Chain A
Amino acid sequence: MSGLALRLDCPGERGFRLSLDTVLSDRGITAIYGPSGSGKSTLLDCIAGLRRPLPGSTVRFRDQRWQEDSAFVPPWQRRIAYVFQDARLFPHLDVAGNLDYARRRCRAPGSPTGAQVIDWLDLQDLLDRAPDTLSAGQGQRVAIARALLSAPRLLLLDEPLANLDHAASQQCLGCLQRLAGELELPMLYVSHAIEEVSQLADHIVLLEQGRVVGQGPLLELCSRLDTRLSSEEQAAAIARGTVRRHDPEFDLTEIDVAGHTLFVNRLVQAAGRPCRLRIPARDVSVCRQQPADSSILNILPVTLAGIGREDGARVMLRLALGSQFLLARITRKSAARLRLQVGDRLYAQIKSAALLMESIDRL
């Protein structure tokens, strides 16, 4: 058996109730995404065993029954690790002591080693520091290292970057991304920041008022018209590409997406590396003829794959680019004027595309 099978019924405060029946992936990074109060942390606590859902609930990880009928495996026997929003380092131990705490209780010694983890998370210079002297970003890196040293089979992360400034959170994201590549460690990553999710996740679970309202591969779900993601103001499609070459003359980098070329601001990534691009729907427009003299560099031939629900003056389009999809948010008036029909061949003009970090396709 594979996956993390959940059937949960867990009441919370003020009438809130987490109620779901689903199977989450046990490979790669699964983002649990939803607004605050949607039950994300409650879900993680139930998986960790820190909170006990009502009888009748089941939690099964691969072939292990963590909760079923009257059986309940306590958190310390689940071989999970949990990175909390507030790092929760032990204040009476220094950084090395916190790492040792996990290593001494490690249930599969030697994988990964202390030296490896210290290197991955760049902790060499912090080992003799006390937790209250660390910055939020440093503290969170120690917390991640501590979690890894307990050799978990499943890593739970509850908005680990929420208290970090931009630079620190980028550094942590980079670390997590590297870890996901190095270790075969499934992670559940709770967040309400779509940028983090876009950069990191392989799968996404949409949570709303304690219920799962959508789940699947991130790239697929981001470009669907029937989820909440596409109705958000910052809705964006995520495209997968490969760095083709750098253009030093104009400070641009060419990225190959489904056989077409996209130009983005010059990057540091080496040619040939896979990457993810986040393309906001509001920066994509469409036209029937290929524009000849546009200032917009990125013009791609696409097929109109779907027209979303109308929302005031605007409407969302789903555009197929090879096997990938883009989103375009245009006015209802333009859609009527162009007489758009599903299946139409169009040209998408992309005003901006933000490159997310180098991404290793893990699955």
Chain B
Amino acid sequence: MPLSAAELDAIYLTIVLATITTVLLLLLGTPLAWWLSRRRGTVPALVESVVALPLILPPTVMGFYLLLMLAPDTAVGRLWQQVTGTQLAFSFSALVIGSVAYSLPFVVQPLQSAFQRIPEGLLQAAATLGAGPLDQFRSVALPLARRSFLTAASLGFAHTVGEFGVVLMIGGNIPGETRVVSIALYDLVESLRFAEAHRLAAGLVLFSLVLLFLLYRGDPRHNWRVRA
């Protein structure tokens, strides 16, 4: 039995959401992880805690506060309305914002620990050879943390695909706009369409398993070197 148009829509939407979220997460998470890896103190510890919150909070709590924050009568909601002319809550954009917040620790933590493993001495050596801070980051830290970018991107992507609570709270269930695979699956189970539910559920399990397997199979030690 081929996938229905509604299911294909949900899968397509999920992939688009996860891709956009992953790109944003890498852009946002890389400098944040670098900053966290090179600083000690109260402020970095506080930032680190905030970043880690989604790991332990129920997604509905995050979703609830995000919904309040993005509602049309808040500053964020009004600004969005003025700039784009559309409502933010229950839109695809809201899903992206929610996903970025919710998956942030999955990107920041692997990058941060990879950056922390880079010996300060190598950065000092680069500095004495004439490399400024940005150059040190680009030419030493990035290549040495290369493999962790793959891990971070994969975890960020997979976690976004797998989210449910936040999406439900701030996105709702609008086909083609906010109806992602996990929501579609919930709908199918609600209406007792188990055969179709199985297909989506098994598909998610298989996708996640393959991704994690590929990640864990690579030996980190072999991936450090790039030939000049």
Q: Per a CB cutoff under 8 Å, which of B119, B124, B131, B224 touches A105?
A: B131
Which A residues touch B126, using CB under 8 A?
Answer: 90, 101
Given A92-B144, A94-B227, A100-B228, CB of A82 within 8 Å of CB of B125: yes
Q: Which residue of B lies closest to A128 (CB)?
A: B227
Given A84-B121, A88-B122, A91-B144, CB of A50 within 8 Å of CB of B132: no
The CA-CA distance from A49 to B122 in the complex, in Å, is: 15
Given A75-B124, A88-B122, CB of A150 within 8 Å of CB of B226: no
The CA-CA distance from A49 to B124 in the complex, in Å, is: 10
Q: Say yes or no for A225: interface residue by CB 8 A criterion.
A: no
The CA-CA distance from A147 to B227 in the complex, in Å, is: 20
The CA-CA distance from A90 to B119 in the complex, in Å, is: 10
Q: Per a CB cutoff under 8 Å, which of B122, B128, B135, B224 touches A50?
A: B128
Q: Say yes or no for A307: interface residue by CB 8 A criterion.
A: no
Residues 122-163 of A, flagged 1 when their CB comes within 8 A of B and 0 if not, give 000000001000000000000000110010000010000000
Size class of A's contact patch? Answer: 20 to 34
Q: Per a CB cutoff under 8 Å, which of A48, A50, A86, A105 touches B130?
A: A105
Q: Which residue of A lies closest to B127 (CB)?
A: A75
The CA-CA distance from A101 to B139 in the complex, in Å, is: 9
Which B residues touch A156, using CB under 8 A?
Answer: 128
Which A residues touch B132, using CB under 8 A?
Answer: 74, 76
Q: Say yes or no for B129: interface residue by CB 8 A criterion.
A: yes
Which residues of B (163-182) have their CB < 8 Å from a CB of A? none
Chain B nearest Cβ from A69, distance in angstroms: 22
Q: Are A92 and B225 in contact (CB under 8 A)?
A: yes
Q: Per a CB cutoff under 8 Å, which of A48, A93, A94, A106 touches B128?
A: A48
Which B residues touch A150, using CB under 8 A?
Answer: 128-130
Q: Say yes or no for A81: interface residue by CB 8 A criterion.
A: yes
The 8 A-B pairs of least Cβ separation, nearest first, read A97-B228, A105-B130, A82-B128, A88-B125, A75-B127, A92-B143, A150-B129, A93-B228
Known: A92-B226, A101-B126, A102-B129. 13 other contacts (CB 8 A): A74-B132, A76-B128, A76-B129, A88-B122, A91-B225, A92-B140, A93-B226, A94-B227, A97-B227, A97-B228, A101-B139, A146-B129, A147-B129
Q: 14 A-B Cβ contacts within 8 A? A: A49-B127, A75-B128, A76-B127, A76-B129, A79-B130, A90-B126, A90-B140, A92-B146, A92-B224, A93-B226, A94-B225, A97-B228, A101-B139, A102-B129
Interface residues of A (CB under 8 A from B): 48-50, 74-77, 79-82, 84, 86, 88, 90-94, 96-98, 100-102, 105-107, 130, 146-147, 150, 156
